[in-house]
Amino acid sequence: MFHQNYEIRNYHPDFKTQIINLERLLWGEDAKKNKVYFEWKYEKNPYTKEVIGVVGLHKGKVVGFIGFPVSKWFLGDKKNYFYALNGADSCVHINCRRKGLNTAMAKFVNQNYKGSKFKLMTGFSSNLASMTSGLKVGWVPFTQRKYLRRYDYWEFVKRKFLKKLNVKLTNTQNILGKYGKIEVTRKVNPVAMANLREKIPINKDIIYLCQDLDFLQWRFLNPKTKYIFYYIWNNNKVNGYIVIKYYNRIKAGKIVDYAYLDVQYLQKILELLITQRHFCILHILDVNLNKDLVKILYNFGFHQRGLIAQLVSRKRKTNKERYFLLKPLKDEKQEDYWYINNLDIRKIENWKLTEICSDDV
């Protein structure tokens, strides 16, 4: 397929080095780390044997790329599932922008995978540019990416003050260890996490991410992200856990995944996090949250928009709204294709989403 002076093709291993070089615009300048990241994300994905992506070529050189890591989703029953393509790492060379290349690549993927085993495409990490391109080819926003936040203002001010005095600040190494039945560690325990998830009752009217052993053994090996795992144990079994992506420099944490047999286990972990002041800032994705969990979060001081968040967004002009996008891999104009097992995929109440569904954490 051609678009103006660009050729658009499926990914081939011959393009790998050029893609990694191009992605420096998104991933940073460390070529070795970028190579490891690409291989983890695309080549070691547990649900596909080949890298799925599309490249834009100009005179034989890669100037554009969109990757599509594969995810597996349950439809209220672990025997009933489907696969999706997750749009990621959309990047166009700075000399080739504003020429419709990103939109053309998105259109190519849509045409190329119609009728495949993949039911739909998702955009859970879309920035403004990729979101605009997706909307042009039939993707729809089905929920806003919004958060509940909690700020420990005293800890925040204290760290700012100590930093000005050039006092060495504590890092996450100091919070690791055991606190009664709660273990805080950097080590993922995929077996314990998978065993817990096997015991959790299933809502038959919900689409949710498959987090089986294969997924858990792979997902938290992301070489670009630092995680801390909070496990609450009882009789050598995990009854609940929280996974936090942390930003050591500012002592901020984002709750990217969690699971529990009873919400009280999550409450105990949150109580530890907050009373021990492990983080100045905590975020959790506020999308279709369990009502009991929302109540607990509000009791612990989480809110939709804190004072610091407002000041930061004004200073950096970051008020642009971001959305989760999706599109069936068929003709989106035909109403039936927006349904899977009689569930309308455009309605957020039919989904269970945590931040780990997005490829950017």
211 occurs within a structural domain: no
164 and 310 part of one domain: yes
pLDDT for res 316: 47
List the CATH number of the domain containing 80.
3.40.630.30
67 and 157 part of one domain: no
76 and 159 part of one domain: no
The DSSP call for residue 169 is P
213: closest CA among 190, 240, 237?
Answer: 190
177 occurs within a structural domain: yes
150: closest CA among 286, 287, 257, 354?
Answer: 286
199 occurs within a structural domain: no
237 and 343 part of one domain: no
pLDDT for res 202: 82
Alpha-carbon span 227 to 244, nearest angstrom: 5
Per residue of the chain (361 residues), give pLDDT as tens. 787 888 999 999 999 999 999 999 999 999 999 999 999 999 999 999 999 999 999 999 999 999 999 999 998 777 889 999 999 999 999 998 888 898 899 889 888 888 788 999 998 887 776 777 778 778 888 888 899 999 976 666 655 665 565 555 555 667 899 999 999 999 999 999 999 999 998 888 899 999 999 999 999 999 999 999 999 999 999 999 999 999 876 688 999 999 999 999 999 999 999 999 888 889 999 998 999 999 999 999 999 865 555 555 555 444 467 889 998 987 667 888 899 888 999 999 999 999 999 988 8
Tell me which residue range forms the domain holding 310. 147-186+226-316
Alpha-carbon span 63 to 98, nearest angstrom: 13
74 and 137 part of one domain: yes
pLDDT for res 156: 61
Buried b (16+ CB within 10 A) or exposed e, 325-350: bbbbbbebeeeebbebeebebbeeeb
Exposed/middle/buried for residue 39 (C-beta within 10 Å: 0-12, 13-18, 19+): middle
- CB-based contacts of 255-259 (< 8 A; 24+ apart in sequence): 255/282, 255/283, 255/284, 255/285, 255/355, 256/227, 256/354, 256/355, 256/356, 256/361, 257/211, 257/354, 257/355, 257/356, 258/354, 259/193, 259/196, 259/197, 259/200, 259/211
List the CATH number of the domain containing 285.
3.40.630
Per DSSP, the chain holds a count of helices (H) and strands (E) of 11, 21
119: closest CA among 145, 86, 141?
Answer: 86
Alpha-carbon span 353 to 348, nearest angstrom: 9
Going along 161-270, which residue ranges are E strands?
Answer: 177-179, 182-185, 207-209, 227-234, 237-247, 252-260
Q: What is the pTM of this model?
A: 0.89
Query: Residue 171: phi, psi to the nearest 5?
Result: -120, -175
Going along 132-197, which residue ranges are E strands?
Answer: 140-144, 147-151, 177-179, 182-185
238 and 115 part of one domain: no
356 occurs within a structural domain: no
Alpha-carbon span 239 to 227, nearest angstrom: 19
SS3 state of residue 342: coil
Alpha-carbon span 187 to 173, nearest angstrom: 12
16 and 134 part of one domain: yes
How do residues 123-160 score in pLDDT, each as one tens digit?
888 777 677 777 877 888 888 889 999 997 666 665 56
**Lookup result for tokens 């949250």:** 289
**One-letter amino acid for residue 131 of the chain:** M
13 and 96 part of one domain: yes
**Lookup result for tokens 């800890």:** 155
Tally of domains in the chain: 2
Q: From its phi and psi, is residue 238 left (phi > 0), alpha (psi between -120 and 50) or beta?
A: beta
